[in-house]
Amino acid sequence: METVVKRFISYAKQYTTSDPESKTYPSTDRQLVFMKKLVLELKAIGLNDVEMDNYGYVTATIPANGVKNAPVVGLIAHVDTSPDFSGENVNPIIQENYDGQPVTLKNGVTIDPKEFPEILKYQGQDIITADGTTLLGADDKAGVAEIVTAAEILLNSSDIQHGKIRLAFTPDEEVGKGTDHFDVKKFAADFAYTLDGGEIGELEFENFNAAEAKIKIQGRSVHPGTAKNKMINAILVANKLISMLPPAQRPEHTEKYEGFYHLLSLNGNIETAEIQLLIRDHSFEKFAEKKTLLQAVVKLINLEYQKEIVELEITDQYFNMRQKIEPVMHIIDIARQAMLDADVKPNIKAIRGGTDGARLSYDGLPCPNVFTGGHNFHGPFEFIPIPSMLKSVQVILNIVQLAGKIK
């Protein structure tokens, strides 16, 4: 326990926020600073083939221990934290023996069970929070800490038999570029698991199909005193466009397998406006319908003004990994049994988001997602129970042992 907690707190304090506007890879140099330290740590604990490539990917190998001809298992986590909230000067705090009451932090931030009832599951446990001024970074520093801790245990234990294991730590997952340059062939795993999930027990092999829509609106600015039948207010056109999308299909009104349109940004004035929308759905058919509807709305507005005042660009980002996992469902069975053997109740669910594993699965590396234990990612209300982190380490150890029995 002391090892994984100390390791996680050390990682959480290091500033690794990615930048969606950057044109470099990785998107921030601070990720490389952390990666270089991670390389030294991995070498220090005795891992083989430790290297960092030109894109910042860190990989390493745990040799097989007493097992021959077993599949090579990969374990993957990302080092960057979300740009949605500050990840600089993170100050992790251990809230000992959580008593079920609101956790009061700085800046008026309170993790109140009335708003976050899931925290009540962990009464009597030690939990880790930030101090209210930053996110905590359990997404995905917890995954990194759990993998490294499990690796150290495997290297120092002759009792746990397993095949060859490959580790990878990636940058820029939070800005959707985590696998842009990942060399699946060189990684040379038969299948892998991302340690990037939420609460204890989560096991996920379905995720959203995802696209980004960028919309540019060209208005016409005329003095308001003489604007009749002349002015085209780009902001109002943007508002009309947004209002024509189904209100029930917004993130705040959806759950489980329900997809959505997410208004990410709206900027503009009378002359020009820009909208950024995210389109998400687990069903590929409904995903396609959502894109078609947005295209129809744009076409209708342009017909109304009898000119192309709205320009739409839709870019697919990633797809539901289920299609790639279903032919190899034994890797889900392994993870499920690994949890049961650790006295963890599996909670198989669909990700309302995406992971590096989604894209890797389409690149030829089947890669479902396993819990790390954290809650409320990307903001100051984030927390992670220490016992959940310990169970994650145990599940990793169980996975590699079970995989070692496959011939």
Q: Cα(first)–Cα(last) distance of the chain, in Å? A: 33
How many CB atoms are closer than 10 A to CB 110? 17
At 369 the three-state DSSP class reads strand
Residue 51, strand partner residues: 59
Exactly one of 152, 172, 173, 196 is catalytic; which is it? 173
Residue pointed to by tokens 């929070």: 129
Q: Which residues have C-beta within 8 Å of that of residue 18, sequence separation ≥ 6? A: 26, 27, 28, 31, 80, 81, 82, 83, 171, 172, 173, 174, 175
Rounded to the nearest 10 degrees, the angle between the axes of helix 386-403 and helix 330-341 is 130
- Which residue from 12, 377, 382 is spatially nearest to 196, judged by alpha carbons? 377
- Which residue from 331, 7, 297 is spatially nearest to 143, judged by alpha carbons? 7
Using the Cα atoms of residue 81, residue 150, residue 68 and residue 346 in order, give the sign of their dihedral: negative
**Is 80 one of the catalytic residues?**
yes
CA distance 270 to 308: 16
Do the Cβ atoms of 89 and 133 come closer than 8 Å? yes
Strands 73-78 and 165-170, by their bridges, are parallel
CA distance 164 to 352: 32
Do the Cβ atoms of 49 and 72 come closer than 8 Å? no
How many CB atoms are closer than 10 A to CB 48? 12
Do the Cβ atoms of 356 and 194 come closer than 8 Å? yes
CA distance 89 to 81: 13
> Side chain identity at 47, as an amino acid letter?
L
Phi, psi of 191 (to 5 degrees): -160, 165
Q: ∠ CA 376-369-80 to the nearest 5 degrees?
A: 55
Do the Cβ atoms of 140 and 12 come closer than 8 Å? no
Tallying the residues shown for the chain, one arrives at 407
**Is 118 one of the catalytic residues?**
no
CA distance 237 to 271: 11
Active site residues: 80, 173
